[in-house]
A and B are shown apart, each in its own frame.
Chain A
Amino acid sequence: MTTGYQIVVCGGIVPDPLQTLDPVANPAGPTIKNEMMLPAVLDPWAAHALYEAAHLAKATPGSKVWLVSLGPKAKLQQVMMTVAQKVPFELVALDGQAGGFTDTYEVAALLAGAIQAIPGLDRSRLLVFGGWESASRGAGATLQMVGERLHVLDQFQGVDRLAIAADGSFQILERIEGGRHQVSTCAGPPAVLGWATGSLPEPPNNSQVGMANMRTVMPALHRAKPAKVGAEGVTFARVSLPSQRRDTRIVKDLPVGEIAREIVAWITGA
């Protein structure tokens, strides 16, 4: 029996945040203008989860990482050209719509189905990782539903740290209000961890890792099955970008102490 972890990271793709993201309505529902043509990146929250997963797997011999990703196959392929160079993983691809206007319930069902279909997966050692929310829409619900469907009841959201104790139990830091963390302990796998930012930097690209990953990524993309996902029956009353607020005041020769006092007053709401 393996002592390593079977870590499945659920991670979608989102448009590059530097692009112009302009919500528009079309007959099938809302979408981002020219979304298909915009460059995409791995959802930043999911990316943190992936780096944490790879770090844990490297530190725990016998572990393996899968990345389960739902998105248009062609766009997934482009994103993989970068992501696959970061850390070792095996891709499980689902060819379907990605973005902020799909139904979370449907997405969770597809992801859970894909995880269940991974050959030889040891559910007793399973850790389901993902972002606690998404850059395309912060519903924060998908991962919880994936866990429920897999009957994994130990779930943690907004995770910033996972420490493994000598007895194999976990100590987990979850974000709570006020910039503080809640510390939980868990006996061990299986568990669902929805990551916040974690604490690891983005790994540099490694061409050797990339070439090794690509041996499984490309076949996975080729055999990716079409996955019907959308938001049938859902009506979007309104979609818009968060409004930007910028208050600029130009003041010359303000002493540093005065600037500091203003910042403190702003933070404390005084």
Chain B
Amino acid sequence: MEILRTLPGDDVRQILWRFADRYDLQMLVQSARSVARGPVARLVAEGARNSHAWTDQKASLLKAFDESGITGLFMDPEQGGFIEGPKNLALALVAFELSWVDGGAATSSLAGNLALAPIHERGTPEQRDTYMRRAMPPQPDEDRQIWRGAFALTEPLPYVGVETGLLSGRVRIAEWVEGKEPLLQVEKRGRFITNMGFANFVTAAVDSGDERIKGSCMVILEETDPGMFDRGAATRKLVHQLSSTGDPVFSLRVRASRIIGGYTVKDGVLVPRYSHGEIIEAVFRRTRVTVGLMTSAKLLSAVEPVIRYQRGRFRGGETITPGSPRYELGLQQKEDVLQRLIDVWATGEAGASLGFAAARLFDELDPLERAKDEIFARQGIGGGSAQMKALRRLQKDALEFLALSAKPAGERDAALEADPLVRFLLLDSLANVLCPACKLWNTGYGATVMREAVSLMGGYGITEDCPGFLGHKWMDAQLEATYEGPEAVQRRQLSLTMVNELFLEQFRMWIGEMREIAWRRPGTGACTLATAMEVWRWTLAHLQRATDADGAKLYHGTRQGVTFPLADALCWLLASRQQILDVLELEAKGPDNPVVAEGLAGLISFLTDLCHVQSARAAGEVGRICAELVHGYNRHPTWDGEGCGTSCGLGELDPLASFVPGVAGPAGGALEGSGHVRPHPPKAGPCVRFDGLEEFVRLRLRLDGCLTGARLAKDRAAAQLTTVMIPEALDYPQ
């Protein structure tokens, strides 16, 4: 049997995550890694995380980011950057590398980009030119200071946090001389604002406090603006201590040209071109993917130190001699620790696959979005609702495109294929699902699994001495599940976007795709996943039309008990699907790379087993969630006349007995004259009937059967952990 010989290296990751042909990104990865496993790791090992304050020691990281190209990554070449085109995948890779060692370092780097993102996405050309250039590290022949930014949205309670619309920050007209640019007075208090210890400028969300200003907007504030630029006290956070976080207070006077995206004046009222909501929507839908990947990096980073700990656990004991199983394998003699590490590894792989797929999707979407805006501008269609209305009209075309896409090339509609608006609609419908799914599942479930990784280190795991800083990473994961929109926000978004007809049609096609893969590569778990996807799809359709026992609609915005679990279930499916697709990519492309080709068979075999393990876990979650939702809102029958009317009659359980052994047995005899089953003393209550749910019962039954072989895959994968070759030592300090 081919075995897993070494841990997957860069060549493998480049194929899995589709940047084998991007040397700019490969260099970037190496650059970010050298910072992460050098200065960042040294700071963590020296205990720099043990203070809330922003210290010179921590500030040294900013210089390391500048020198390595991490700071300049966000900029376009004309602004001094070095990567052409969209940078979502690039940013994701950097965050992944930094988080491999410390999430706070990644946050520190990303927060600067977050401050620039409103300007990048929605700023005027002048704003973009000014601030992007200032934020670029100076070249050797330049004599200037770099500008660093902070993004100020969150405010002290009860204002903006989860609810992004509830702003207390205000902007008023301070002075407006006829024919001149208005001066604005901005009042803003921030909470948990990253980079506040050193930011030279802030992009702040504020609402109008003046009838001469319409709605909300974002404004750029500079530290030298007249008024108060108070950085505030450092937040006493327990995590991400290598980033600077504070609660600032701003009371500043600025020119109206600082409104991000500009403004118009209509009937004496200043109308910002973009509301703060429009801007943050454009920003967060990209940056949230990156945060999701930060937690996946932690999980994958845990594999090597845990294996090393497991193997060396008993070495040094007087009776433990080299060559003995206890010396060579240590804890790895026990099945449980191996299988739990497989769960950690599989979750990390699935999360990374989902996150990088989402990042690539945004790279594809960005130019289409710009093309869409240009087309609409030519047609005189403005932003917001006008665009949404226009796009809704194209929904039919996009559905037709999907229907035709399965047909041979000659039978497709070339015009539809070439239409950028159709392509935008399709990708946008996916991005609107993949982004929140990645943020929600990778961080939320990732934090839970990170706890498992810590537990595999025993008491060592919750000390500062733990190799790989796993204890820190566990805590950090909790913040990643919270900032840039906590789990509830992501679930809420998913509950809206996952019912988009365009997404659902693509999801339906993915089921076919998984079935085809299952036929070709049965060991991947694609079969399990396809059935789980069918269960989810059926459940969604059912919940959209069904009511609960009291007649209330089930799939409704206010019924988060229905919509949120279903959103959770979808995330499992999306992650597992992408994990399978990535392994198939490696299988197809790996032989072309001599480095990867050596040992590829063993690697593919192992990664395939990981897919199977993960798809089984996903199927289990989906089955449980869907069953609860489908059955859980029907009232349980009781032993009264009405209840008996909805419970199984004599003989009705008999057919089920063939695949649910014993189900009919305890039912006992019939109630006199009712024809229904009589409660048997050891039986808790009457069994419900599944009228109208036969298809769901069939799918659930099939799903159980589809788990066949999943545990064997786990056994195989776990066994590989005992033989895989790992480095002699971790490549960063501890």
A contacts, CB < 8 Å to B:
16, 18-20, 22, 33-34, 36-39, 72-75, 77-78, 81-82, 84-85, 204-208, 210-211, 214, 217-218
- A210 CB contacts on chain B under 8 angstroms: 27, 31, 69, 82
Chain B hits for A208, CB < 8 A: 69, 82, 139
A214 engages B27 (CB within 8 Å): yes
Given A204-B67, A214-B24, residue A37 in contact with residue B6 (CB < 8 A): yes
A82 to B729, CA, bound (A): 21
User: Which residue of A16, A33, A72, A207 contacts B594 across the interface (Cβ within 8 Å)?
Assistant: A72
- Is B30 touching A34 in the complex (CB atoms < 8 A)? no
What are the residues of chain B within 8 A of A81 when measuring CB–CB?
A: 10, 23, 26-27, 29-30
A211 x B82 contact (CB < 8 A): yes
Whether B593 lies near A74 (C-beta < 8 A) is yes
Let me know if B72 is at the binding interface, CB within 8 A. yes
Query: Chain A contacts of B139 at CB under 8 A?
Result: 208
Check A85–B725 contact: CB distance below 8 A: no
Q: Name the distance in Å between A172's Cβ and chain B's nearest Cβ.
A: 29
For B27, the chain A residues whose CB sits under 8 A away are 81-82, 84-85, 205, 207, 210-211, 214
Q: Which residues of B contact A18 (CB under 8 A)?
A: 727-729, 731
The answer to whether A82 and B30 touch across the interface, beta carbons within 8 angstroms, is yes
Quick check: B599 and A39 within 8 Å, CB to CB? no
**Residues in A neighbouring B596, C-beta threshold 8 A:** 74
A217 to B6, CA, bound (A): 28
Find out whether the CB atom of A205 lies under 8 angstroms from the CB atom of B30: yes
Q: How far is the CA of A20 from the CA of B5 in the complex (A)?
A: 12
Please name 6 pairs of A and B residues whose Cβ atoms are closer than 8 Å in the assembled complex, sorted by A.
A38-B9, A74-B593, A81-B23, A84-B27, A207-B68, A210-B31
Q: B598 contacts the other chain (Cβ, under 8 Å)?
A: yes
8 Å CB interface, B591-608 against A: 593-596, 598-599
Residues of B within 8 A of A82 (CB): 27, 30-31, 34
Task: Give chain B nearest CB distance to A90 CB in angstroms.
Answer: 16
B305 to chain A, nearest CB (A): 13
> Which residues of chain A are near B29, meaning CB under 8 Å?
81
Which of B10, B24, B68, B729 has a CB less than 8 Å from the CB of A204? B68
Q: Are B728's CB and A37's CB within 8 A?
A: no
Q: How distant is the Cα of A227 from the Cα of B477 in the complex, in angstroms? A: 49
| Chain B residues within an 8 Å CB radius of A211 | 24, 27, 82
- The residue from B10, B26, B67 contacting A39, defined by CB atoms under 8 A apart: B10
Asked if B726 is at the interface of the complex by the 8 Å CB criterion, the answer is yes
Known: A36-B595, A74-B11, A81-B27. A20 touches B727 (CB 8 A): yes
8 cross-chain pairs, A with B, having the tightest CB-CB distances, nearest first: A207-B69, A205-B31, A36-B598, A82-B30, A81-B26, A74-B595, A204-B67, A210-B27
Q: What residues on B are CB-neighbors of A204 within 8 Å? A: 64, 67-68
Asked if B28 is an interface residue, CB under 8 A from chain A, the answer is yes
Q: Which of B570-622 contact A (CB under 8 A)?
A: 593-596, 598-599
Q: How far is the CB of A202 from chain B (nearest CB, A)?
A: 9
Contact: B594 with A74, CB < 8 Å? yes
B30 touches A206 (CB 8 A): no
Q: Would A19 and B5 be within 8 Å (CB), given that A34-B599, A204-B67 are in contact?
A: no
Residues of chain B contacted by A85 (CB below 8 angstroms): 27, 30-31, 69
B11 — which chain A residues lie within 8 A by C-beta? 74, 78
Instruction: Give A34 to B598 CA distance when docked, in angstroms.
Output: 8
CA distance A236 to B82 in the complex (A): 49
CA distance A82 to B30 in the complex (A): 6
A39 contact set on B, CB distance < 8 A: 9-10
**B519 to A: closest C-beta gap in Å:** 31
Q: Assuming A36-B598, A37-B6, A82-B34, is B72 touching A20 (CB within 8 A)?
A: no
Q: For B31, give its contact among A75, A207, A217 (CB under 8 Å).
A: A207
Q: A19 touching B728 by the CB < 8 A rule?
A: yes
Q: Verify B67–A205 contact, CB threshold 8 A.
A: yes
B30 touches A20 (CB 8 A): no
Residues in A neighbouring B599, C-beta threshold 8 A: 34, 36-37
Q: Which residues of B contact A214 (CB under 8 A)?
A: 23-24, 27
Contact A218 B23 (CB under 8 A): yes
| Chain B residue with the shortest CB-CB distance to A17 | B728
Which listed residue, A20, A22, A207, touches B28 by the CB 8 Å rule?
A207
Name the residue on A nearest B77 (C-beta).
A211
Bitwise, B13-34 to A at CB < 8 A (1) or not (0) is: 0000000000110111111001
Closest to B599 in A: A37
Cβ-defined contact, B727 with A19, below 8 A: yes
Q: Name the residue of chain A whose CB is nearest to the CB of B726.
A: A20
CA A8 – CA B616 in complex, angstroms? Answer: 56
**Which chain A positions have C-beta within 8 A of B24?**
211, 214
User: Is the beta-carbon distance between A38 and B6 smaller than 8 angstroms?
Assistant: yes
Encode B51-68 as 1/0 by CB contact (under 8 A) with A.
000000000000010011
Give residues of chain B (703-727) contacting chain A, Cβ–Cβ below 8 Å.
725-727
Residues on the B chain within 8 Å of A33, using CB: 725
Please indicate the chain A residues that have their CB under 8 angstroms from the CB of B6 in the complex. Answer: 34, 37-38
Q: Which residue of A lies closest to B728 (CB)?
A: A20
- By a CB distance below 8 angstroms, the chain A residues around B726 are 20
The answer to whether A205 touches B68, judged by C-beta atoms less than 8 angstroms apart, is yes
B532 CB to closest chain A CB (Å) equals 34
What residue of chain A has the Cβ atom nearest to residue B603's Cβ?
A37
Instruction: Provide the bound-state CA to CA distance between A207 and B6, in Å.
Output: 30
Contact B595 A75 (CB under 8 A): yes
**Quick one: closest A residue to B25, CB to CB?**
A81
